[in-house]
Structure 1
Amino acid sequence: MRSATIKEILSGEGLLREVTVNGWVRTFRSNRFIALNDGSTINNIQCVVEFENFDESLLKKINTGAALKITGTLVESQGRGQSVEIQVKDIFVHGTADPEEYPIQPKKHSLEFLREKAHLRIRTNTFAAVMRVKSALAFAIHKYFTDNGFYYFHAPIITGSDAEGAGEMFRVTTLDEKNPPLNKEGEVDYEQDFFGKETNLTVSGQLEAEAYAMGLGKVYTFGPTFRAENSNTSRHLAEFWMIEPEMAFFDLDANMDLAEDFIKSVISYVLKNCEEDLEFLEKRLLDEEKTKPQAERSEMALRDKLRFITDNNFKRVTYTEAIEILRNSKPNKKKKFQYPINDWGADLQSEHERFLVEKHFKCPVILFDYPAKIKAFYMRLNDDGKTVRAMDILFPGIGEIVGGSQREERLEVLKQKMAALDIPEEELWWYLDLRKFGTAVHSGFGLGFERLVLFATGMGNIRDVIPFPRTPQNAEF
């Protein structure tokens, strides 16, 4: 008999039919009731064992964490908490779990403890729910771009350029770390390295995606990126995934239209297709909020926060307007901002972004036309010479979630910007070629996938929405 998933069994029809299911034991009560879960749903299925029908030595192998194959008859449940249960006819033990050693016991574990058991934490309801939502988001992202005429592009992971200009990159080398070859100047001779030059792990696939957009029209990347920032905050990872669409013939307005429609679409998808997991995560978040001081509690339940995105038009505001709003706000005048806003040109912090979304406009916000000095070299310079065609999308509870811009398509202007930042033309000769041969208006944006998952699941730490987090001093598993 073909085994079925628990999700299939619980959503199917017909009692008194024989079913076979595989899964892991969550609990085994009174040597009679097995709560089995296979990861297909937040729900367990209860399997009822008649003690006298099974050898005692077999039943002793059934503990929390054990993997079982169970065959039996699906019947209406006699107990509370489930509509159906399995009257067990046969049990096969795939693998046991010593209760003295198995760490994921049926009790509340702290998230910090579970990070130390990242290889096993997926067997908890919380992490299984998060990862199912994450999977649904990934599918929704690919579906959206495919339905809208985009082509999926794999950007290189190893690169010789720094798209962000931050310089905080992981080096890739095969040279002897204890005795590297040196050149005449006494510096490491990267010409003898594997790639013949200094290379790093990518911080972004944007520049390469621009090249392919200028031939395919609309492309998107969805792949791993790396930042060597020594940051231990709840919002930073050294390895994470990025979604980066690039579109030829799109100006900033078209870019903002696409970004808003894209985000609404993928969040609508999980609201529709992840109801049980979101309900569980919402309850978990409400329980967690009760332990916080009143001032730190969220004003919206999880699904209300998601609907806040899908049901509202995004307010579009220039950086200059936003600075005036913030400068004249009560928190700024009463010095309640950790980073006071005084002058035009300040780099906005999360507290400022959240004030604009949650307190002032009370809807998602797109800020645009930022000062050139606080944005990357590839963003198109406005006619005022001071601002660039950049845009950031701001969400409640998180601040910036998307960053993008209209790209600088004018060769001479791009050269001037690179020179001002000491970016060598020979390093990005191919990027300049795109402006020499058939240049055109084009735009794009970047969305950190784990940031989106963090928002969609209500989790408080980004290390809990990626299977095996990579952070400073931590590359376990």
Structure 2
Amino acid sequence: MTTKTVAQLLSKDNTLQDVTVKGWVRTFRANRFIALNDGSTINNIQCVVDFENFDEALLKRITTGAAIHVAGELVESQGKGQSVEIQVKELEILGDSDPETYPIQPKKHTFEFLRENAHLRTRTNTFSAVMRLRSSLSFAIHKYFTENGFYNMHTPIITGSDAEGAGEMFRVSTLDAKNPPLNEDGTVNYKEDFFGKETNLTVSGQLEAETYAMSLGKVYTFGPTFRAENSNTSRHLAEFWMIEPEVAFMDLAGNMDLAEDFLKSVLGYALENNKEDLEFLDKRLQDAEKSLPEAERSPMNLIDKIKFVVDNNFKRVSYTEAIDILRNCKPNKKKKFKYLIEEWGADLQSEHERYLVEKHFKCPVILFDYPANIKAFYMRLNEDGKTVRAMDILFPGIGEMVGGSQREERLEVLKEKMKALDIPEEELWWYLDLRKYGTAVHSGFGLGFERLVMFTTGMGNIRDVIPYPRTPQNAEF
């Protein structure tokens, strides 16, 4: 007899029959009712045990967290809450669970406690739902790009360049940490290191992806990136995943079109294929907000917020127009913003981005043409000499979701920008080569995957949407 998943047994098109299933015990009530889950669905299947047919010693081993194998007849349920249940004929304990020490008990746990037990937290409904959604979103991303003619490339994790110019990078070295070789001036001699130069973990695959776009046309990366930023906020991780498409012969308008279509497609896939998980997370969020003052509650529930993005055209607004709106809005004039907008050139914060999306335009917003001095060196300088062809996509509840730009394709302009920022040409000689040999307009964007998962699941802390979060002073598991 083929073992079936709980999801298969609970599906509407399943027929009543003899079945076998394996999973972990969530609860065992009255020595009779086992709630069994195998991770395939948010829902448990009820397994009904006639205790007279089984040894008492065996039944005592059916505790929360135990792994069991059940065989029996799938029948229509006599109780409420489920359509079918299993009348158990055979039962085997595959792995015992100590009820005295098993941390994931059938009660409410704090997210902080569950992070300390991250190796077991997916046995809860919340985290199993989050991680199934994470998997679905990952598949939808690859599906979208494959169906739209993109080639997936794996960019280096170890790099000698700082793509963002941020300087907050993790060093990669095999030198003796206590006694490294030194130059005459006392600095570390990296020529004796493994790679013969100073190397780090990457903060972005964008620059390498650009090189492939300029030969393959349309490429994307989806890989781990690292940022040594000493920040313990709910929005920061030291290790996270980035989606970065790059497209040759595409300008900023095409880049905005691509990003909008991509986001709608990926989120639409989650709505269609993860209904039960989204409904559970939606209810969880609504229940959690009942204790908050009305002013602090989300204006939309989770599913409506996702549909808000999928169903609305994104409003395209220049940075200059956005600054005028923000400078003259009530929260700014009444000093309700934490960061007041006083003049052109200000770097927008999440509170400003959310105001534009949730209060002013009431739809997702794409801001474009940012001041050059608050954006990266590789962004295409506009004719006004003070703005660049950058764009950010803003979402409700979260602010910036996507950052991208048309890339600077002019060799001399790029050199001048690098010189102004003290970026050595010899460090990025290969990047400059793209501007020497068949240069052309090209564009791309970056999307932090965990931020997308946060938006889709309604989770408030980025540590809760990645299996094992890496944060300052924390590299457990």
Same fold (TM over 0.5): yes
Counterparts of residues 193-204 of structure 1 (less than 5 Å): 193-204=193-204
**Secondary structure at 1:303's aligned position in 2?**
helix
Match of 2:336 in 1: 336
Match of 1:412 in 2: 412
- Is the aligned partner of 1:107 residue 2:107? yes
Query: Share of identical aligned residues, percent?
Result: 80
Give the structure-1-normalised TM-score: 0.99
Match of 1:235 in 2: 235
Asked whether the equivalents of residues 371 and 386 of structure 1 are also in contact (C-alpha less than 8 Å), the reply is yes
Match of 1:353 in 2: 353
Match of 1:146 in 2: 146
Asked whether the equivalents of residues 68 and 94 of structure 1 are also in contact (C-alpha less than 8 Å), the reply is yes
Match of 2:256 in 1: 256
Q: CA deviation at 1:396?
A: 0.4
Distance (whole Å) between structure 2 residues aligned to residue 178 and residue 22 of structure 1: 52
**Secondary structure at 1:19's aligned position in 2?**
strand
- Is the aligned partner of 1:372 residue 2:378? no
Match of 1:208 in 2: 208
Distance (whole Å) between structure 2 residues aligned to residue 93 and residue 140 of structure 1: 37
Quote the RMSD (CA, aligned, Å). 0.7
Match of 1:164 in 2: 164
Give the structure-2-normalised TM-score: 0.99
Match of 2:73 in 1: 73
- Is the aligned partner of 1:474 residue 2:474? yes
Distance (whole Å) between structure 1 residues aligned to residue 17 and residue 275 of structure 2: 27
**Secondary structure at 1:295's aligned position in 2?**
helix
Distance (whole Å) between structure 1 residues aligned to residue 224 and residue 187 of structure 2: 31
Cα displacement string for residues 53-85 of structure 1 (whole angstroms, at most 9, x for unaligned residues) = 001111111000000010000011111100100
Distance (whole Å) between structure 1 residues aligned to residue 175 and residue 460 of structure 2: 40
Distance (whole Å) between structure 2 residues aligned to residue 45 and residue 383 of structure 1: 64
What letter matches 1:62 in structure 2?
A: I
Match of 1:325 in 2: 325
Q: CA deviation at 1:184?
A: 2.0
What letter matches 1:150 in structure 2?
A: F
Match of 1:279 in 2: 279
**Secondary structure at 1:134's aligned position in 2?**
helix
- Is the aligned partner of 1:2 residue 2:2? yes
Asked whether the equivalents of residues 247 and 444 of structure 1 are also in contact (C-alpha less than 8 Å), the reply is yes
Match of 1:306 in 2: 306
Asked whether the equivalents of residues 15 and 75 of structure 1 are also in contact (C-alpha less than 8 Å), the reply is no
> Runs of 5+ in structure 2 lacking a partner?
none
Distance (whole Å) between structure 1 residues aligned to residue 171 and residue 291 of structure 2: 43
**Secondary structure at 2:223's aligned position in 1?**
strand
**Secondary structure at 2:471's aligned position in 1?**
coil
Number of paired residues?
A: 477
Q: CA deviation at 1:370?
A: 0.1
Runs of 4+ in 1 over 2 A off after TM superposition: 12-16
Match of 2:452 in 1: 452
What letter matches 2:274 in structure 1?
A: C
Cα displacement string for residues 296-346 of structure 1 (whole angstroms, at most 9, x for unaligned residues) = 110101000000001100000000000000000000000000000001000
Match of 1:82 in 2: 82
Cα displacement string for residues 115-163 of structure 1 (whole angstroms, at most 9, x for unaligned residues) = 1100000000000000111111001000000000000010100000000
Distance (whole Å) between structure 1 residues aligned to residue 365 and residue 111 of structure 2: 31
Cα displacement string for residues 157-183 of structure 1 (whole angstroms, at most 9, x for unaligned residues) = 000000000000000000000000011
Cα displacement string for residues 176-216 of structure 1 (whole angstroms, at most 9, x for unaligned residues) = 00000011222100000000000000000000000000000
Match of 1:23 in 2: 23
> Runs of 5+ in structure 1 lacking a partner?
none
What letter matches 1:34 in structure 2?
A: I
Q: CA deviation at 1:293?
A: 2.0
Asked whether the equivalents of residues 332 and 341 of structure 2 are also in contact (C-alpha less than 8 Å), the reply is yes
What letter matches 1:183 in structure 2?
A: N
Match of 2:442 in 1: 442
Q: CA deviation at 1:415?
A: 0.1
Asked whether the equivalents of residues 76 and 83 of structure 2 are also in contact (C-alpha less than 8 Å), the reply is yes
Asked whether the equivalents of residues 15 and 76 of structure 1 are also in contact (C-alpha less than 8 Å), the reply is no
Counterparts of residues 384-403 of structure 1 (less than 5 Å): 384-403=384-403
